[in-house]
């Protein structure tokens, strides 16, 4: 989190108490990290006279949104919330989707004031929830820690504003940037703590994506095993020529998507019976599968965050196509010398000013290893501005 309030529109300057309770709402929203997709992660805290009353976060899809969950928890405890303030990280919805409008629930409960972190970038909401609350006589202040809310929901915000998910690469490499030995062996460059942390990043994604080269070389399962999670992300394979073996370990009965340019109706039918969905997408000018078409398709099918674990070729193609929003890189304190690098760019970088540049977000020690998080500053800035945040 940035820790700095980001004004969006109107509202009084927030008090120290407002800061306190909105930070609490952001913490509550973290509880929905693994469960809310494709909905955003939202937290709601109900407060009256400086006293906490109840709180809630977004439940699994089809379940209660954060506001409704907080009101439900208050009702279970017999707590009267009339006259309370609701601190909500994202604007309450105003439309009926899988659940009724949260704005109406707050109005019916007698809430007196609502503090909103971020105006909802969903075109179906986009300020209408705030308008409905104000029309009912409720005071609404908007924009407290708005950048933190975007950072908590980059995939949802990206899908709503640009029509494509938030994509990050996950890599594990030696200190000299090698993901594998020359013969492809890579188990294990990093230690247990780094690998467990990598599973946490898998768990928060809507989809884990790899390339057919990784499937053929390593035969991975790509599911979440190291931590408990109520939901497994969809696992997907980029397989232009549709050469995926029907006995690959990734085909285990859980949902798998295969993206290809070469339809094979018979093979697709056999795989379909084993919960594998085959999606045919157009090729690019070089005969490979169009990565831009892939990203558009994912956005249209409610994929918020894509976690890529792949080899240097796919990683390089995504980097050169400027589709990488973030990088989660695990670095081991070892030197491998000759070996397979992080990214094989389709076209070489011929001058330093042509380098693909990222900014560091944070560094964490995980056992003997380190985790570096990097982000594309231009893509982040574009997302922030699309969500109504002003450039500082």
Radius of gyration of the chain (CA): 23
Does the active-site annotation cover 67?
yes
216 closest CA partner among 178, 234, 242, 188: 242
Considering the chain, what percentage of its residues have pLDDT values greater than 70?
Answer: 94
Tens digit of pLDDT for each residue in 327-364?
999 999 998 888 888 888 888 888 898 888 999 999 99
Tens digit of pLDDT for each residue in 216-256?
989 999 999 988 898 999 999 999 999 999 999 999 999 99
Cis peptide before 188 (omega within 30 of 0): yes
Q: What is the DSSP string of 4-41?
A: S----B--PPPPHHHHHHHHHHHHHHGGGTTT-TTS--
Tens digit of pLDDT for each residue in 63-100?
899 999 999 999 999 999 999 999 999 999 886 666 77
Residue 98 is predicted with a pLDDT of 66
Tens digit of pLDDT for each residue in 151-198?
999 999 999 999 999 999 999 998 888 888 877 777 788 999 999 999
Describe the crossing of helices 102-109 and 66-76 by its angle, rounded to 10 degrees.
Answer: 30
Spot the catalytic one: 30, 55, 67, 131.
67
pTM of the full structure: 0.91
């Amino acid at each position: 989190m940035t820790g700095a309030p980001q004004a969006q529109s109107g509202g009084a300057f927030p008090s120290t108490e407002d800061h306190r309770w909105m930070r609490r709402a952001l913490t509550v929203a973290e509880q929905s990290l693994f469960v809310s997709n494709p909905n955003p992660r939202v937290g709601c805290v109900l407060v009256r006279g400086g006293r906490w009353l109840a709180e809630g976060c977004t439940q699994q899809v089809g379940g209660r949104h954060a506001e409704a969950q907080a009101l439900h928890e208050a009702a279970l405890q017999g707590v009267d919330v009339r006259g309370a303030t609701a601190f909500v990280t994202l604007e309450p919805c105003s439309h009926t989707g899988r659940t009724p409008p949260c704005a109406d629930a707050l109005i019916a409960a007698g809430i007196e004031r609502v503090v909103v972190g971020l105006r909802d970038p969903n075109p179906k909401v986009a300020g209408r929830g705030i308008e409905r609350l104000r029309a009912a006589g409720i005071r609404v202040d908007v924009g407290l820690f708005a950048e933190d809310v975007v950072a908590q929901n980059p995939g949802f915000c990206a899908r709503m504003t640009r029509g494509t998910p938030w994509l990050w690469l996950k890599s594990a490499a030696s200190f000299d940037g090698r993901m594998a030995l020359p013969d492809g062996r890579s188990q294990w460059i990093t230690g247990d703590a780094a690998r467990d942390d990598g599973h946490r990043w898998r768990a928060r994604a809507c989809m884990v994506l790899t390339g057919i080269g990784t499937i053929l070389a390593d035969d991975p399962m790509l599911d979440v095993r190291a931590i408990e999670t109520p939901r497994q992300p969809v696992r997907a394979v980029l397989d232009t020529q549709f050469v995926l073996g029907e006995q690959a370990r990734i085909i285990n009965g859980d949902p798998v998507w295969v993206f290809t340019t070469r339809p094979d109706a018979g093979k697709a039918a056999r795989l379909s019976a084993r919960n594998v969905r085959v999606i045919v997408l157009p090729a690019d000018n070089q005969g490979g599968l169009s990565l831009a078409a892939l990203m558009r398709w994912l956005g249209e099918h409610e994929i918020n965050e894509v976690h890529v674990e792949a080899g240097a070729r796919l990683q390089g193609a995504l980097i050169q196509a400027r589709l990488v929003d973030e990088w989660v890189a695990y670095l081991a304190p070892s030197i491998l010398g000759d070996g397979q690098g992080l990214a094989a760019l389709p076209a070489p970088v011929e001058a330093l000013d042509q380098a693909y540049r990222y900014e560091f977000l944070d560094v964490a020690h995980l056992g003997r290893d380190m985790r570096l998080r990097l982000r594309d500053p231009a893509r982040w800035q574009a997302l922030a501005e699309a969500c109504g945040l002003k450039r500082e």
